Structure 1
Amino acid sequence: MSEILRQQIEEITSLTDEEFEYVLSHFETKKLKKHQFLIQENDLVKNDYFVLNGCLKSYHVDSNGKEHIVQFATQNWWITDFQAHFNKTNATLFIDCIEDCELLSLSLENREKLCSEMHKIEHFFRKKSNSGYVALQQRILSMLNNNPQERYDKLLLSNPILFQKVPKKFIASYLGVSRETLSRFNSGSKK
């Protein structure tokens, strides 16, 4: 399964077999079951996670107990509570498994070590971070400027796999609409 990580890295920079094995030696494999928590609010967040298979959701629970989904992560995606991870503070998000998952875990210390030792890896993470910033800005602007149907259509177009893996109630939360509103949209997603 580690070839998935190598493919992602090599979309940005090439690595020799020896370089990739060295990079991979800084990761640990983690397996979780459906509904199992990866991170809970107030946890210390030491790792960033690369998804080899499965599906996870990252969310915040407000003072009324309502879940607000921030991110989904499927194969080839990275997920953590980034604020807590990079600032070395306690988590403000929950991350749990929608499906059984296999992940590669990378500590902040190992990431920093790899970046200081290998310009190629520093370049990779910089490019991935930049892509993440762009995606976050696009999501915020979509929430501000698009109506629910438009947000739904964009999500379906950009990430159709979610509609096969994720229950409608989670899609609704991610889009900021009720389950009933989502049901009115034309979809082939599961209930």
Structure 2
Amino acid sequence: MATQFRQHIEEISPLTDDEYAYILSHFVKKTFRKHQFLIQQDEPVRYEYYVLSGCVKAYTMDQDSKMHILQFGMKDWWVGDYQAYYKNTPATLYLDCIEDTEVLCLTLENREKLCSEMHKFEHFTRKKVNAGYMALQQRILSLLNSTPKQRYEQLLAMYPSLFQKVPKQFIAAYLGVSRETLSRLNAINK
């Protein structure tokens, strides 16, 4: 765990042993079982999560109880309900485990403290936030401008391991298609 998270940070900001130990001291390590919630809609959001192992999904449910998945989180990904996290408002999303998952949890207070005290950590988080914003923009543009087949092919090309971890109904909910459409797309690409 310590090596994996340190390597993740050092892809952007090299650290001394003392700097890394100080950063790590601000995180809480937690383990969740398959189907267990990290965040539930309308509840307070205490943490942003770095996924050490496992897989989670962030989603909302519409009035017809249809699931709309905004994000998956696998090893080395950051996930959370960022609107609730930063604004200290009730969660607008659910975040639950697709499989047993281990995460590092960071409170907003500790995030702000680390960013104000350590330029290296602030630089790292800024780069990660920028990358996340660009990925979100690309996802929105894909939903607006791409066909379901194109979205499927993009997701498969970018994250092939996701298709091994995530049930088809969740891939369909992420792509905004029915399971039947996903099955047809899957058959075409074989």
Matched, 1:30 2:30: yes
1:186 CA displacement: 3.0
Instruction: Give the % identical residues.
Output: 61
Q: State the Cα deviation string for residues 160-180 of structure 1 (Å, max 9, x = none).
A: 111000000000000000000
**Distance in 2 between residues matched to 1:184 and 1:47, nearest whole Å:** 38
Q: Which segments of 5 or more consecutive residues in structure 2 lack a partner in the other structure?
A: none
Q: State the Cα deviation string for residues 103-128 of structure 1 (Å, max 9, x = none).
A: 00000000000000000000000000
Match of 1:106 in 2: 106
SS across alignment from 1:101: strand
**Distance in 1 between residues matched to 2:172 and 2:87, nearest whole Å:** 30
**Distance in 1 between residues matched to 2:160 and 2:180, nearest whole Å:** 20
Match of 1:4 in 2: 4
CA RMSD of aligned residues (A): 1.3
1:35 CA displacement: 0.4
- Amino acid paired to 1:150: Q
- Amino acid paired to 2:104: L
Match of 1:157 in 2: 157
**Distance in 2 between residues matched to 1:50 and 1:137, nearest whole Å:** 21
**Distance in 1 between residues matched to 2:172 and 2:64, nearest whole Å:** 17
Q: Give the 5 Å matches for 1:1-191.
A: 1-186=1-186
**Distance in 2 between residues matched to 1:148 and 1:2, nearest whole Å:** 39
**Distance in 1 between residues matched to 2:119 and 2:32, nearest whole Å:** 32
Q: After TM superposition, which residue ranges in structure 1, 4 or more long, deviate above 4 angstroms?
A: none
Q: State the Cα deviation string for residues 32-72 of structure 1 (Å, max 9, x = none).
A: 00000110001100110000000000000111111100000
Count of equivalent residues = 189
- Amino acid paired to 1:42: D
**Distance in 2 between residues matched to 1:164 and 1:186, nearest whole Å:** 13
Please give the TM-score of this superposition, normalised by the length of structure 2. Answer: 0.97
Whether the 8 Å contact between 1:2 and 1:52 is mirrored in structure 2 is no
**Distance in 2 between residues matched to 1:27 and 1:3, nearest whole Å:** 15
- Amino acid paired to 2:184: R
